[in-house]
Amino acid sequence: MKNLFIALSLLLCILSCHNNQSVEKREHAIGVDLEKKQEVSLHDFFSKVEIIPLETTDSVVMGDPVMEMRVDNGEYYFTCAKQQYIWHFDENGHFIQKINHHGSGPNEYSEISDFRFNRFTGNLEILSPWGYINVYDHSGNTFKNKILFNKEKINVVHNFIELTPHSYLLFSDAGKGNKMHWYDTEKNDVIAETYDLPEFLFFNTPYHNSFTPFYCYNDSVRFVQAYNGDVFTATTKGELKSTYRFDFGEYNFDISTLEEKPIEYYVVHSNTTGAKYANRFIAYGENSKYYMARFKFHNRLYHLLLDKRKGEVYCFNKLKEDCFCFPLCMDEKALYFVASPDELDMAINKDVLSAEDKKKQEAISPNDNHIVIKYTFK
């Protein structure tokens, strides 16, 4: 997405002690020394890196920025700003289809806020911010049913993830009160809620989330607290259990002093006072070997990599080979993110590419669609 590498937003999360559901106290933190200069090579963790330019034609022109990216069965799916449909490309970047059911009909949606492939059913689920999920088959072409949330409990919702075959974890930026809800579709009701956040954090500051705060690892649903990078596991009973807590020492970001100020104030704040601390964890992923995240510190983009097998943490601005490797999506095989044509040279050093990929890069035009950058793990 345009300016994907610039701070997009993060989730400023204040854990309310007044909620019915409490967040488990985090007793053990993983120390991270940001003053230690660490040199990390592409070859330390990855076997190869490749680029997959997404096909561009007169009728296949993606919007900018990319709002969400999903990788399913090796194929790529995207939503983009100001476009109410899902772009679908195969593993080689060839255009397959545009999944578009935008409209006011019974089988259509008014707006896309988020989308996922349900890991229990395989169905494509499209979330409308206005309180419902449209369910389609995996191809996205056949409508199956609509899940309507209880309007007395859920008015606006921006992100979601399936917890069980009959329950979801929902997140909303808007409104007063708790922003996270556990929703049971059989009971058609909220069974738990937490995260009472002031509205100004989302509407007046640049410290709010644009990408989903959720991801799946095996059968666990993770929630990332983007202002400081802490990771929680959401239980089916309405609890958030600490999974990874990172301690940056004097560079921990303290949000307790933030006050309601105009957005102009926080634009300056994020580049001055806020820039002194590690924050804006907005891209993350996990597999059996690693947890990875992208964050910002001293107005520079950084990577955090936790080697789960060795219990070691690595922090670095770029790989030794002058490449970024942001975990916008991540699975057992690879890490994936996207760059626009004008970002590609900043994202990756062409010297690490194969001869074939160098030719692909040279053929990219400024008005082409985005390029997937894929790092295959060793």
pLDDT recorded at residue 210: 63
Helix (H) and strand (E) counts for the chain?
A: 5, 26
**Domains defined along the chain, listed by start:** 32-377 (2.120.10.30)
The token duo for 241 is: 């259990």
Query: What is the gyration radius of the CA atoms in the chain, in angstroms?
Result: 20
At 309, give phi and psi (nearest 5°).
-75, -40
pLDDT in tens, 321-340: 999 999 999 999 999 999 99
Amino acid found at 275: A
Q: How many residues does the chain have?
A: 378
pLDDT recorded at residue 313: 96
This prediction has a pTM of: 0.91
The token duo for 41 is: 């090579």
Of 119, 193, 105, 117, nearest to 149 by C-alpha is 193
DSSP-derived 3-state class of residue 265: helix
Longest CA–CA separation in the chain, Å: 59
Which residues on neighbouring strands pair with residue 51, listed in sequence order?
A: 373
pLDDT recorded at residue 2: 41
Sign of the CA dihedral with 350 first, then 60, 110, and 139 last:
negative
Cβ-based burial of 311 (10 A; exposed 0-12, middle 13-18, buried ≥19): exposed
Instruction: List, run by run, the mean pLDDT of 10-residue segments along the chain (378 residues).
Output: 39 32 52 94 97 98 95 97 97 98 96 97 98 98 98 94 98 86 97 86 70 94 91 95 95 89 91 94 95 96 96 96 97 97 97 98 97 98
pLDDT recorded at residue 209: 63
pLDDT recorded at residue 8: 35
The token duo for 162 is: 């399936």
CB 197 within 8 A of CB 171: no
Of 374, 215, 214, 229, nearest to 296 by C-alpha is 229
Of 171, 297, 282, nearest to 229 by C-alpha is 282
